[in-house]
Amino acid sequence: MIQIKNLQKTFIKDGHRIEVHKGLDFEIAEGQSLAVVGVSGAGKSTLIHIIGTLDHPTSGAVLFDGVDVFTWPEKRLAAFRNRKIGFVFQFHNLLPEFTALENAMMPALIQRMPKRESKRRAEAILGEMGLSDRMTHKPGELSGGEQQRVALARALILEPEILLADEPTGNLDTETGKRIEDMLISLNRTKRITLIVVTHNPSLADRMSQRIGLRDGRMYTRE
């Protein structure tokens, strides 16, 4: 279970104090799904970065199975992130000089997984994504939807328990976005991966088991 308790995040910009989050409280059970919605600039991406331990809260707690991970030293926190959490962003951030297969393998190789096992996993996941015939293609040779599926495969290579997706369909046409949407829902339901999605897409938000909205630094439960 992930629990957010009295989460506050403040930035200082040009000498001004900006309160992005003003005491957020919510939880999501293991294997459930959550949509985070709200207007641009409401702090949605900042929230998902904090949940993913890429950023630190100013105050409050982020508990994973009852443990506040931000009390840990950075090295332990990074190991936890690499082991437990997968990330998918609106802009796929694939490395252009590497093939789809090599991009999908990258996190496993960084974690020193043997190359043979990394390749086996990547091939299996890309196959599930319908990309068996595109593995040797570089990102520039793939469509936007294919690139996003490669990014999703990369996020899954280490078999995370939690998948965080920031506007995963935001840069795609409607039909392609629906395919990515279906894949995310399937992963949540069949593999019981806890799924947290930041989205402006009402169709995707409606398919999550929970939804919260952010406005003026605070949370509301429905738009």
Could you report the per-residue pLDDT of 40-61, keeping only the tens digit for each?
Answer: 878 898 999 999 999 999 999 9
**Residue 5 included in any domain:** no
Is the pLDDT confidence value at 223 over 50? no
In a domain, 180, yes or no: yes
pLDDT (tens digit per residue) in 146-199: 998 899 899 989 989 999 999 887 777 787 788 888 888 888 998 899 999 998
Domain membership of residue 66 (yes or no) is no
Q: pLDDT at position 175, please?
A: 79
Q: Give me the pLDDT at residue 92, please.
A: 74
Helices first, then strands: H and E counts in the chain:
7, 10
Residue 56 placed within a domain: no
Q: Which amino acid is at 177?
A: G
Residue 58 lies in a domain: no
Confidence tier at 93 by pLDDT (50, 70, 90) = confident
**pLDDT mean across residues, the chain:** 90
Q: E strands along the chain, which residues?
A: 2-13, 16-28, 33-37, 59-64, 67-68, 85-89, 162-166, 194-198, 210-215, 218-220
Number of structural domains (the chain) is 1
User: Would you say residue 206 lies in a domain?
Assistant: yes
Residues 6+ apart with CB under 8 A from 32: 188, 194, 195, 209, 210
Residue 211 lies inside a defined structural domain of this protein: yes
- Return the CATH number at 164: 3.40.50.300
Q: Which domain holds residue 120?
A: 33-40+72-220
